[in-house]
Amino acid sequence: MSILLLPASCGTTTEITNTDSQHIVPQQSEHGSGAPAVIDTLCCNGSPRVVVTGFEPFGGRRLNRSWEAVRRLPPSPGRETRQLPVAYGRLSDEVAGLGSQQPHALLLVGECPARSVAVEQVALNVVDTNRADNSQQKPARETLLPEAPLALRASWDARAVALRMAAAGIPASPSFHAGTYACNAALFLALATLGAQTRVGFLHVPYQRWPRGIRLSVLVKAIEIALDSLVAASISMPPARERTTCS
């Protein structure tokens, strides 16, 4: 993501430790990966009902940790993975395309300079950056969707998701908002355009490799837990348009 060198891009986070989550027990699936079989049951007539995205490399880097983690997810008949561009001008169409199969859940994953996985709570209707994207665009103080509210909530309880990750030994924190860069833009567009029928969540993963960062195998586990939580939300929560937006 274009937020790599901008520490504020992950928003303000609250660290969650294993001590905080001693009463939280991650659900285990028959696959042993932390994602329950309910994900597979949402697949109908071969259509992918869960979509997971990562971002392409940017800023001259060869790899993006978000995509490296997403592409290592084990195959599932109810899951599709896609790579999103780090280009503001293309994001709107790309995000709209994610809803073509009307998935029950959409999990977006980006990278940032945090030391733990950041579980995003809110997306802002703002794009503002001092670093060009991969199309050399550098929007400043712009609105993503003029008729949309200032902010939209993600389709999960971010603190509960972070607690589940911490209980599984994964450093994780709820993040108040996803910044004002391409990661945030993708999340806001997804909530605004797909939120009526799709539950949407966003994870920021640390961009640094092990040992400074988190192992890819652990990031994959974090994504599985996030998917579990998001699919559960798709069953128990009303669509985003029926919930209160942020003012």
Q: Which residues are catalytic?
A: 120, 183, 204
E strands, the chain, in order: 50-55, 79-84, 105-112, 117-120, 122-124, 151-153, 172-175, 199-206
Contacts of 20 (CB under 8 A, 6+ apart): 163, 166
User: How many beta carbons lie within 10 A of that of residue 157, not counting itself?
Assistant: 16
Place of tokens 């905080």: 20
Beta strand 50-55 with 105-112 is parallel
Contacts of 46 (CB under 8 A, 6+ apart): 77
How far apart CA 221 and CA 215 sit, in angstroms, is 10
Question: Could you tell me which of 80, 112, 73 has the C-alpha nearest to residue 202?
Answer: 112
